[in-house]
Structure 1
């Protein structure tokens, strides 16, 4: 992905695939409930997520992973946090925040593929919490 001659199309497709692979581990500890389902052969018990999920991509880098995650969690709602780094203090600065309803009753997944110090991710979490 990081090769300078990687096309935009290949970059997007690879990023979506990485997001799809990550979502299983990200959701590992989200509570589930048993549900009865009917298969072509018999009834059986399956699992479903019991809590609303909200995806919070940090603009703009996090947007590239959102589609891959939503492909596997189509009921997830999306909020957005926009941050930039102050060049003098190196601290993240909020320029945009759009939350969804009942975010405090949801499992929130902050999407930040640009992880370095974790400062932006921490700032996004703080914004979601307030």
Structure 2
């Protein structure tokens, strides 16, 4: 039975990501088989041994994990940007047009970039 997804808690996700070893994580076999670490200075910061096996998905899994640290940061930033953009959007209750609302000198609400004019009621989509 499907369950309702929980709201995305970006603060908690970013806290976990920021507490983790920075990336990118690269394989350093000289320290043992399947040893991954971050080289962000004069020494390695170890992530640990990650054995992905030899299955058909092993290479894809390896690439996913190696880039997860940077990918999470990039996705969180994009989600925050999109949320901010969405927060500026409104939908006209009269015609359904969506845009950013501004009030003109005539006191009416106008939507940009749709060009809808004269609608005095707007709601968040």
For normalisation by structure 2, the TM-score amounts to: 0.25
- Rg larger for: 2
Considering Cα pairs closer than 8 Å and 6+ residues apart, tell me whether 1 or 2 has the greater RCO. 1
1 or 2, which has the higher strand percentage?
1
